[in-house]
A and B are shown apart, each in its own frame.
Chain A
Amino acid sequence: EVQLVESGGGLVQPGGSLRLSCAASGFTFSSYWMTWVRQAPGKGLEWVANIKQDGSENYYVNSVKGRFTISRDNAKNSLYLQMNSLRAEDTAVYYCATGNPSGVWGKGTTVTVSS
């Protein structure tokens, strides 16, 4: 079964850090661009970052540049999002997804930034 499972979300204070993980199974992870998309409570979808199959290219939405880092480990079939200097506006459900467009999505992990 094709599956993406996110983990690592939680409650963090403004200025803090979190590392999200996404475990992939059921498909050839190393063949796909991978993407992080977030959804603030009651809001729409916002693309956050993506990374090429071999990790040689990555791109970010302007609002997270310099604070978030996307990475992957193809040997472990895993995608990561290191989030530093977190702000209240980063509060959202974070989804990992395959490709562009995104055909497979995880169920998401919730990040809450609050004091």
Chain B
Amino acid sequence: DIVMTQSPDSLAVSLGERATINCKSSRSVLYRSNNKNYLAWYQQKPGQPPKLLISWASTRESGVPDRFSGSGSETDFTLTISSLQAEDVAVYFCQQYYSTPPLTFGGGTKVEIK
């Protein structure tokens, strides 16, 4: 199984400042035949289901604000919120969908306002 490790477990960022979340996979999730990284990011607010923010490591879903960006390749990935807004308080999860079963999630990173 591919193990996904997120860091930090939590972070507190001032409004308008940058938040950076890291995700590391135990094996590469880059499929070389199509040069795509099978890595997604989700946002989960309290009491709500997860929401898909980014797929293929860096492709924002429709309607996701452009302050959210994803980067990285193979085993190391980053989700960046360029200017934190109050509505961004949530837990963020990465997920690999390269190797199934199982599809595996990171442990989550809780983002709060400082």
Most chain B beta carbons < 10 A, residue from A44, A45, A103, A106: A45
Measured between beta carbons, the chain B residues less than 8 angstroms from A106 are 49
Give the number of residues in B that approach A within 8 Å (Cβ atoms).
Answer: 22
Decide if A101 touches B40 in the complex (CB within 8 Å): yes
Decide if B107 touches A44 in the complex (CB within 8 Å): yes
Q: Is A11 an interface residue (CB 8 A)?
A: no
Select the stretch in A12-20, A24-32, A54-62, A81-89 that faces chain B: A54-62
**B102 is contacted by which of A62, A97, A101, A103 (Cβ under 8 Å)?**
A62
| Shortest distance from the beta carbon of A76 to any chain B beta carbon, whole Å | 22
Chain A interface bracket (under 10, 10 to 19, 20 to 34, 35 or more): 20 to 34
Q: Is B22 an interface residue (CB 8 A)?
A: no
Prevailing SS type, chain B contact patch:
loop
CB < 8 Å A-B pair total: 57
- Per-residue CB proximity of B44-71 to A under 8 Å, as 1/0? 1000111110010000010000000000
**B105 is contacted by which of A44, A97, A100 (Cβ under 8 Å)?**
A44
| Shortest distance from the beta carbon of A85 to any chain B beta carbon, whole Å | 19
Q: Tell me the B64-80 residues at the A interface (CB within 8 Å).
A: none
Measured between beta carbons, the chain A residues less than 8 angstroms from B104 are 47
Residues of B within 8 A of A (CB): 40, 42, 44, 48-52, 55, 61, 93, 95, 97, 100-108
A to B CB contacts below 8 Å, 22 in the list: A37-B50, A44-B106, A44-B108, A45-B50, A45-B105, A45-B108, A47-B95, A50-B101, A59-B102, A60-B101, A60-B102, A95-B49, A100-B97, A101-B52, A101-B55, A102-B42, A102-B50, A102-B52, A103-B61, A106-B49, A107-B48, A108-B49
Residues of A within 8 A of B (CB): 35, 37, 44-47, 50, 59-62, 95, 97, 100-103, 105-108
